[in-house]
Amino acid sequence: MVLGLEDWIIIFLAAGVFSLIVNFANRILGIRKRTNELQKQVNAYQKEYQEAVKKNDETEMARLKKREPEVMKMMQEMLFLPFKNMIVVIPMFLIVIWMVGSALPNFVIDLPIALHLNGNELLGLNVFQSSTYGSRGFFILSSVISGLVIEGIAGKLLKQ
């Protein structure tokens, strides 16, 4: 027990804080906003091109073909934007996962789901079975869950 709290609560709270920081970093670095802007532009181009193809408008298709390198550049930028925040996230993740493992080396928890990357569980879509996690595994699982919740809440709040 740390601070009078159960170990699993400490790990889950650490994962929640980590997920909040990652979400904040994404928003500060403008990754999500830029990705959305690029996606709208690419979608608009694709829609224009599809309409020109349906109408068999050769001049419009030729005009849009000239914009194709610009659109490809936008798509390439969208592909690499998520890696921009990895400069912050990966070192922070390594530090936090080391701290959690060092602080709670004997932590073990059994959960009714199994999300390990092997053919019998996650890749075999056999996730509804009991599985044992250590402090690091539970931190990763908690980070995924809290990250999804935080993303959902932040997405709803920031759209208002």
pLDDT at 119: 53
Mean pLDDT of the region 117-146: 76
Residue 37 and residue 78 in contact, taking contact as beta carbons nearer than 8 Å? no
Give CA–CA dist 42/70, Å, rounded: 10
Q: What's the CA gap between 141 and 122, in Å, rounded? A: 13
Q: Per-residue pLDDT tens for 8-57?
A: 899 999 999 999 998 888 888 778 788 889 999 999 999 999 998 898 88
- Rounded to whole angstroms, the Cα distance separating 48 from 69 reads 16
